[in-house]
Homo-oligomer: A and B are copies of this chain.
Amino acid sequence: MVYLTRVEHFNAAHRLHNPDWSAEQNDAVFGKCANANWHGHNFELFVTIKGQPDPQTGFIFDAKKLSAIVRERIVDKVDHRNLNLDVPFMQGKLCSIENFVIAIWKELEPALPAQVSLHCLKLIETPRIYVEYYGE
Protein backbone atom coordinates (compact mmCIF):
# COMPACT_ATOMS: atom_id res chain seq x y z
CA MET A 1 0.00 0.00 0.00
CA VAL A 2 1.46 3.35 -1.09
CA TYR A 3 0.09 6.78 -0.21
CA LEU A 4 0.13 9.45 -2.93
CA THR A 5 -0.47 13.12 -2.16
CA ARG A 6 -1.34 15.86 -4.61
CA VAL A 7 -1.36 19.50 -3.44
CA GLU A 8 -3.76 22.07 -4.89
CA HIS A 9 -3.98 25.79 -4.24
CA PHE A 10 -6.92 28.20 -4.11
CA ASN A 11 -7.80 31.45 -2.42
CA ALA A 12 -11.14 32.54 -1.08
CA ALA A 13 -13.00 34.90 1.25
CA HIS A 14 -14.99 33.77 4.26
CA ARG A 15 -16.13 34.77 7.74
CA LEU A 16 -17.01 32.96 10.92
CA HIS A 17 -20.60 33.75 11.79
CA ASN A 18 -23.33 31.93 13.69
CA PRO A 19 -26.67 33.25 12.39
CA ASP A 20 -28.41 32.24 15.65
CA TRP A 21 -26.28 34.73 17.59
CA SER A 22 -26.23 38.49 17.90
CA ALA A 23 -23.42 40.49 16.34
CA GLU A 24 -21.98 41.00 19.84
CA GLN A 25 -21.98 37.28 20.54
CA ASN A 26 -20.31 36.58 17.18
CA ASP A 27 -17.66 39.20 17.91
CA ALA A 28 -17.08 37.83 21.40
CA VAL A 29 -16.53 34.27 20.14
CA PHE A 30 -14.95 34.76 16.73
CA GLY A 31 -13.19 38.12 17.18
CA LYS A 32 -11.87 39.64 13.98
CA CYS A 33 -12.73 36.40 12.10
CA ALA A 34 -16.37 37.57 12.35
CA ASN A 35 -15.70 40.80 10.38
CA ALA A 36 -18.98 41.56 8.51
CA ASN A 37 -17.04 42.53 5.37
CA TRP A 38 -15.18 39.21 5.21
CA HIS A 39 -11.51 38.32 5.21
CA GLY A 40 -9.68 35.64 3.19
CA HIS A 41 -6.85 33.18 2.79
CA ASN A 42 -4.61 31.34 0.40
CA PHE A 43 -5.55 27.73 1.05
CA GLU A 44 -3.39 24.69 0.30
CA LEU A 45 -5.29 21.41 0.00
CA PHE A 46 -3.30 18.15 0.36
CA VAL A 47 -5.26 15.17 -1.02
CA THR A 48 -3.81 11.79 0.01
CA ILE A 49 -5.04 8.58 -1.60
CA LYS A 50 -3.82 5.04 -1.01
CA GLY A 51 -3.61 1.95 -3.16
CA GLN A 52 -1.40 -0.67 -4.83
CA PRO A 53 0.89 0.33 -7.70
CA ASP A 54 -0.48 -0.95 -11.03
CA PRO A 55 2.10 -3.33 -12.60
CA GLN A 56 1.56 -1.75 -16.04
CA THR A 57 2.09 1.88 -14.99
CA GLY A 58 3.76 1.88 -11.59
CA PHE A 59 1.00 4.28 -10.49
CA ILE A 60 -1.55 3.79 -7.74
CA PHE A 61 -3.39 6.47 -9.73
CA ASP A 62 -2.16 9.04 -12.24
CA ALA A 63 -1.38 12.22 -10.25
CA LYS A 64 -2.49 14.35 -13.20
CA LYS A 65 -5.91 12.66 -13.21
CA LEU A 66 -6.14 13.09 -9.44
CA SER A 67 -5.39 16.78 -9.92
CA ALA A 68 -8.08 17.05 -12.59
CA ILE A 69 -10.68 15.48 -10.28
CA VAL A 70 -9.76 17.76 -7.35
CA ARG A 71 -9.90 20.81 -9.61
CA GLU A 72 -13.26 19.89 -11.10
CA ARG A 73 -14.90 18.86 -7.84
CA ILE A 74 -13.37 21.37 -5.44
CA VAL A 75 -10.99 24.05 -6.73
CA ASP A 76 -13.26 25.31 -9.52
CA LYS A 77 -16.07 25.76 -6.98
CA VAL A 78 -14.08 27.57 -4.27
CA ASP A 79 -11.20 29.43 -5.95
CA HIS A 80 -11.64 33.23 -5.87
CA ARG A 81 -15.04 32.71 -4.24
CA ASN A 82 -16.75 33.59 -0.99
CA LEU A 83 -17.05 30.32 0.93
CA ASN A 84 -20.14 31.50 2.84
CA LEU A 85 -22.05 32.92 -0.15
CA ASP A 86 -20.82 31.25 -3.35
CA VAL A 87 -20.17 27.59 -2.52
CA PRO A 88 -23.21 25.27 -2.72
CA PHE A 89 -21.70 22.56 -0.52
CA MET A 90 -21.05 25.04 2.35
CA GLN A 91 -24.60 26.45 2.44
CA GLY A 92 -26.11 26.38 5.90
CA LYS A 93 -22.83 25.42 7.53
CA LEU A 94 -20.68 27.42 9.90
CA CYS A 95 -17.65 28.18 7.77
CA SER A 96 -14.81 26.92 10.01
CA ILE A 97 -11.94 24.99 8.41
CA GLU A 98 -13.09 21.95 10.39
CA ASN A 99 -16.50 22.02 8.71
CA PHE A 100 -14.92 22.97 5.38
CA VAL A 101 -12.55 20.00 5.28
CA ILE A 102 -15.38 17.58 6.13
CA ALA A 103 -17.50 19.10 3.34
CA ILE A 104 -14.63 18.77 0.86
CA TRP A 105 -14.30 15.08 1.78
CA LYS A 106 -17.99 14.50 1.02
CA GLU A 107 -17.64 16.13 -2.39
CA LEU A 108 -14.39 14.45 -3.34
CA GLU A 109 -14.61 10.91 -1.99
CA PRO A 110 -17.37 9.68 -4.36
CA ALA A 111 -15.48 11.03 -7.37
CA LEU A 112 -12.40 8.86 -6.89
CA PRO A 113 -11.96 5.64 -8.88
CA ALA A 114 -12.48 2.23 -7.26
CA GLN A 115 -8.82 1.19 -7.28
CA VAL A 116 -7.83 3.80 -4.68
CA SER A 117 -9.34 5.13 -1.48
CA LEU A 118 -9.21 8.60 -0.03
CA HIS A 119 -6.95 8.47 3.00
CA CYS A 120 -6.57 12.03 4.29
CA LEU A 121 -7.32 15.66 3.48
CA LYS A 122 -5.06 18.33 4.91
CA LEU A 123 -6.17 21.94 4.57
CA ILE A 124 -3.74 24.76 5.39
CA GLU A 125 -5.46 28.06 6.23
CA THR A 126 -2.50 30.12 7.42
CA PRO A 127 1.21 29.35 7.83
CA ARG A 128 0.40 28.51 11.48
CA ILE A 129 -3.02 26.74 11.32
CA TYR A 130 -4.16 23.63 9.46
CA VAL A 131 -6.63 20.73 9.82
CA GLU A 132 -6.56 17.09 8.79
CA TYR A 133 -9.50 14.75 8.24
CA TYR A 134 -9.52 10.97 7.66
CA GLY A 135 -13.21 10.54 6.82
CA GLU A 136 -14.57 9.58 10.22
* Chain A residues near B (Cβ < 8 Å): 1-9, 11-14, 16, 18, 20, 29-33, 35, 37-42, 48, 53, 55-60, 62-64, 67, 79-82, 85-86, 93-96, 98-99, 101-102, 126-134, 136
Chain B residues near A127 (CB-CB < 8 A): 7, 9, 42
Q: Is the CB of B38 within 8 A of A38?
A: yes
CA–CA, A120 and B67, complex, Å? 24
A/B interface sample: 6 pairs, CB < 8 A: A3-B131, A3-B133, A12-B39, A29-B62, A40-B40, A58-B95
Known: A37-B81, A38-B38. A98 touches B5 (CB 8 A): no
Partner of A53 from the list B11, B80, B98 (CB cut-off 8 Å) is: B98
